[in-house]
Chain A
Amino acid sequence: MKELSTIALLLLCCLSLSAQQYDGMRGLIHTPTAEMDTVGTARIGAHFISKEMMPKSDYFTWKDASTGEKHPYNTFSYYLSLTPFRWVELSYTCVALAKGPKLADYSSKDRHFSVKFNPLREGKWWPSICIGSADFMGSTLDPTNSQDFFCNFYLAASKHLNIGNGHEIAVHAAYRYYIKEYNKQFQGIVGGITYRPAFAKNIRVMFEWDGCHANFGADALLWRHLLLQASLQNGRYFSAGLCYKVYLL
């Protein structure tokens, strides 16, 4: 009953759910946080990603043969992630690459690994601190040009606050550094705020600044295993994801 109410509430709010990054790591929409899954948690999921969130590289455009124009495209990712120990989270992500506008044109992919370390857990007075990297190791599609489409390194902090009557907000901040020039719009200070209501603790609403856009969205964990995610980038562009959580311990 609780899950059905959650679904109804989310549909009414016209919010998709997307509280985790599209590469399977725990975070906000397009911003890392210092939150970690519990040890032994594995995620298997897929995510529809709007073109606004993609690197501004030619690999993420398709060329119209008749006009020569390049068009950015929406795409999708799928991933497997695991928190093998309390202090580390790992993820393997594939992002589909297209050479045309049709579904059949998504014929190759970028593969990459991500990692996050948690050297300092959150305490009563101090935040949780994480150091991580997305796409620190990936595919070699073009041997003459290093890929690293999504490669970035970050230092993040998160603090949860009980604001009374069981309501919780969390403040997240990070500094993110991208290797590639075409990702520099997402570089710098990023962060967000999340709100978890007392009456629906499996729902989380979030607002973030990813260095370039203001994004908002929500997520919900249904039946303890199904994590629904979605968001609006820059208030306009839709992304959504679905993830199945497995507890291995």
Chain B
Amino acid sequence: MVRTKSIIAAIVLIAANITVSAQQIDTTSSSGQKSSIVDIFAGVDFNYRDIFLDKPYQFLINLTPGIKWHIWDHMQLNTGFLIPVLNQYGEDFARPRLDVLSLSHQMKFGNLALKPSVGLFTQERYGFDLKAFYTISEWLALELQAGFTGYLSMAHGWDMSPLSKFLAVGGVDFYLQKWNTQFRLVGGRFLKDDNGVYAEGLRHFRHTSVGLYLQYSDFNSATGRQHSNFNGGFKVVIALPPYHRSNKAVRFRPADNFRLTYNMNADPHSCKTYLTDSEQNERHGWFSPNILPWGANKIHDFDQK
């Protein structure tokens, strides 16, 4: 009975916070821009795998050009392409194709930040996505990602399925300010209809974040695959220069980050989610710094001139 009352009280408090703060929506542009800005960027998507005993590695390297149109007040149209440069993974990865085409909007209601997105996402998904981040304190926050998507692939022409797949992953974030270290524990239903738990620890340095992760997913046991349900590895996220950006209407720049994720069991299925932004990464998170000045977002990698 006491526990039920506590849960109800918590829900009421959160709802009250949202209601009271609805009038305090932050309308300040993230970059102080007076008009819309278009970023034209390009990066490299580097993949390698070691799954054969008689070959050291196989590589898949894609050029990833993209366009981001910061329309107004945290509304953004994002496109990204995959152009194979070196492909040893097979025919499914051979064609240049659209990777991301999404429209998203960041909003803040008191301590709650929301980011709905619609369009084409990575992992060949299309549909709707909602990200929510609720900051409880400087070191504690809650996060949730929910999506309703279908399959859309341009690997061999056009292949599409109706919207049918739900994804719901939520959890808790801890941030230790003194060491710029973040711990994240999330769980739920992931992209391949698997239920799992994912934990990671990231140390954020000046322009680089390095971390370890562990995960459990029932994908392998549920599908009869002879692989462990446990997996882990490490991540490296590097914010790429230039670190000073102009206020020009059209900007040409490299991709703002390079991510490397080492997957110990070479498991491409378990605990997967899609990206709604082609430059999304664990260091910069889902929201821009002036929407969500929490955790690693306080480490400003990029300054506006």
State which of B50, B56, B210, B234 has its C-beta within 8 Å of the C-beta of A248: B210
Which A66-92 residues have a C-beta within 8 angstroms of B?
Answer: 82, 84-85, 90, 92
Which B26-45 residues have a C-beta within 8 angstroms of A?
Answer: none
A106 at the interface (CB under 8 A from B): yes
Q: Which residue of B lies closest to A111 (CB)?
A: B50
With a CB–CB cut-off of 8 A, which chain B residues contact A85? 179, 203
Given contacts A108-B53, A108-B56, contact A249 B234 (CB under 8 A): no
Q: Would you give 23 A-B contacts (Cβ < 8 Å), ordered by A?
A: A40-B205, A42-B208, A82-B210, A84-B203, A84-B210, A85-B179, A85-B203, A92-B234, A106-B56, A107-B55, A107-B56, A108-B53, A108-B54, A108-B55, A108-B56, A109-B50, A109-B56, A111-B50, A141-B53, A248-B206, A248-B207, A249-B205, A249-B206
Which B208-254 residues have a C-beta within 8 angstroms of A?
Answer: 208, 210, 212, 234
B151 at the interface (CB under 8 A from A): no
The answer on a CB contact under 8 Å between B208 and A248 is yes
A243–B128 CA distance with the chains assembled, in angstroms: 46
With a CB–CB cut-off of 8 A, which chain A residues contact B208? 42, 248
**Total contacting residues, chain B, CB less than 8 A:** 15
With a CB–CB cut-off of 8 A, which chain B residues contact A42? 208, 210
Which A100-120 residues have a C-beta within 8 angstroms of B?
Answer: 106-109, 111
With a CB–CB cut-off of 8 A, which chain A residues contact B54? 107-108
With a CB–CB cut-off of 8 A, which chain B residues contact A111? 50
A62–B206 CA distance with the chains assembled, in angstroms: 46
Q: How large is the interface on A (under 10, 10 to 19, 20 to 34, 35 or more residues)?
A: 10 to 19
A207–B207 CA distance with the chains assembled, in angstroms: 38
A106–B210 CA distance with the chains assembled, in angstroms: 30
Chain B CB within 10 Å, residue with most, of A40, A111, A248: A248
Given contacts A84-B210, A109-B50, contact A248 B205 (CB under 8 A): yes
Q: Which residue of A lies closest to B260 (CB)?
A: A80
**What is B's interface to A at a CB cutoff of 8 Å?**
50, 53-56, 179, 203, 205-208, 210, 212, 234, 262
Chain A CB within 10 Å, residue with most, of B53, B179, B205, B208: B205
A96–B54 CA distance with the chains assembled, in angstroms: 12
B66 shortest CB reach to chain A, Å: 27
A82–B260 CA distance with the chains assembled, in angstroms: 15
With a CB–CB cut-off of 8 A, which chain A residues contact B179? 85
Q: Which residue of A lies closest to B208 (CB)?
A: A248
A33–B15 CA distance with the chains assembled, in angstroms: 56
A203–B56 CA distance with the chains assembled, in angstroms: 35
With a CB–CB cut-off of 8 A, which chain A residues contact B53? 107-108, 141
A109–B48 CA distance with the chains assembled, in angstroms: 14
With a CB–CB cut-off of 8 A, which chain A residues contact B212? 90
A248–B54 CA distance with the chains assembled, in angstroms: 36
With a CB–CB cut-off of 8 A, which chain B residues contact A40? 205
With a CB–CB cut-off of 8 A, which chain B residues contact A106? 56
Q: Which residue of B lies closest to A109 (CB)?
A: B56
Q: Which residue of A lies closest to B210 (CB)?
A: A82
With a CB–CB cut-off of 8 A, which chain B residues contact A84? 203, 210
A248–B209 CA distance with the chains assembled, in angstroms: 9
With a CB–CB cut-off of 8 A, which chain B residues contact A141? 53
A42–B238 CA distance with the chains assembled, in angstroms: 13
A248 shortest CB reach to chain B, Å: 4
A108–B210 CA distance with the chains assembled, in angstroms: 27
With a CB–CB cut-off of 8 A, which chain A residues contact B50? 109, 111
B261 shortest CB reach to chain A, Å: 13
A84–B205 CA distance with the chains assembled, in angstroms: 9
With a CB–CB cut-off of 8 A, which chain B residues contact A96? 56
B59 shortest CB reach to chain A, Å: 15
A40–B179 CA distance with the chains assembled, in angstroms: 11
B249 shortest CB reach to chain A, Å: 34
B71 shortest CB reach to chain A, Å: 35
A157 shortest CB reach to chain B, Å: 27
B253 shortest CB reach to chain A, Å: 22
Give the 8 A-B residue pairs with the shortest CB-CB distance, closest first. Answer: A248-B205, A84-B203, A248-B208, A107-B54, A108-B53, A249-B205, A40-B205, A82-B210
- Could you list 15 further interchain pairs (A-B, Cβ under 8 angstroms) beyond the known A92-B262, A108-B53? A42-B208, A42-B210, A84-B203, A85-B179, A85-B203, A96-B56, A106-B56, A107-B53, A107-B56, A108-B54, A108-B55, A109-B56, A248-B210, A249-B205, A249-B206
With a CB–CB cut-off of 8 A, which chain B residues contact A248? 205-208, 210
B88 shortest CB reach to chain A, Å: 15
A85–B234 CA distance with the chains assembled, in angstroms: 16
